[in-house]
Amino acid sequence: MNPISSRQVTGVLLVVLSGWSLTMTAQDGRDGWIVLLLAGLCSLPVAALCCLASERMPQGDWFQLPRAAFGAVGGTLYMWTLAALAFWSLCMTVLSGVIFLRTVSGGIWPVWLLTAALLVCAAASAQHGVRQLALWAQPMVWLVVLALLLSLVLSWKQLDFYELRPILSGGVKDLPKRVYLLLSVPFGEVFYAAAVLGGQGTRIRNGLLRACVLAGVLLSVLYLRNICLLGAEGARGVLYPSYTAASVLSFGEAFQRGEVLISGSLLVCTVARAALILSFFAGCVRAGSTCQKSHGVWLGAILTSAICILCAGSNQAFGMAQELYQILFLPVVVLAAGALFAKVHTKSSL
């Protein structure tokens, strides 16, 4: 495998995490920016833990580690469990993008067309390997971040910072629960990135940690912008505050469609996120069977398309599935990463 730089690793994860800013709600009220910042900081030890096992074998493939650590049966069960988790995450990712695009377009685009377009692009990217994904994400991260920063700069004069007061009016009792949920979505993608990009030494960990910090700051700032522009109650009253904030900006006739930036950025980020998770899913399928990686990629894409076409019309079902995923993801990942590192560390020390 050709080496991937720490900067490229940061680019991949930052594109993936930035996309969540476009569909995030404002249900945490005026203190949501604090929750996002804390979640970004708490994701750092999770990211480090996910990288430790592959750092013990810096020239290996992360997907080979479970079989070597737990044996044939245990390793296969381990990989298929994570494959199921990744498939669940992939369905949530594509459904989120499809529901967003259907909502903001007024439903003029059919579900099957949006689903197929997203998954074909993601599968094509995943099939060409992780290095190709890193090369593709490197310029894309600048486009996405610049689009988000442009929306911030253009809205600066319309912001009302008094909307942030009082800070922590509801106390700190609920903060741990809200941070916990955000550690699963969006920051849980660091686990998939650590596995797919792993096996190349400590530069992978450094790149992921940098991306978590940058994403935490960026998401917090965008959340602040939404609250200050729309008001705390106004932001909570709409489904997609970032999109609504972009659509109400007033900065002259030269650029009147700020929501175009939002929609375009979401497409890029959703494809990158789906490609990353598809790569992880295909790696798990390959390690748990005799299936080739390319077959695993298209298998995941086909199964996901079927689920999304059947479920995209039910926002309630999507919300319940995502909430359950957020509850279960973090303990599963921490146990899986911790157990794998413990086994690999023990065997490498003998």
Higher pLDDT, 327 or 254: 327
Residue 80 clears pLDDT 90, i.e. is over it: yes
Q: What Å distances lie between residue 23 and 32, 81, 184, 281, 311, CA to CA?
A: 14, 28, 15, 24, 18
What span, in angstroms and rounded, lies between the C-alpha atoms of 170 and 155? 28
High-pLDDT (> 70) share of the chain, %: 91
Give the Cα-Cα-Cα angle 69, 210, 90 (nearest 5 degrees). Answer: 60
Amino acid at site 138: Q
Q: Residue 253: what pLDDT?
A: 44
Q: Residue 256: what pLDDT?
A: 46
Can you list the domains of the chain with their CATH numbers?
Answer: 6-342 (1.20.1740.10)
Mean pLDDT along residues 89-116: 87
Residue 167 clears pLDDT 90, i.e. is over it: no
**Predicted confidence (pLDDT) per residue in 205-227, tens digit:** 999 999 999 999 989 988 998 89
Mean pLDDT along residues 308-326: 79
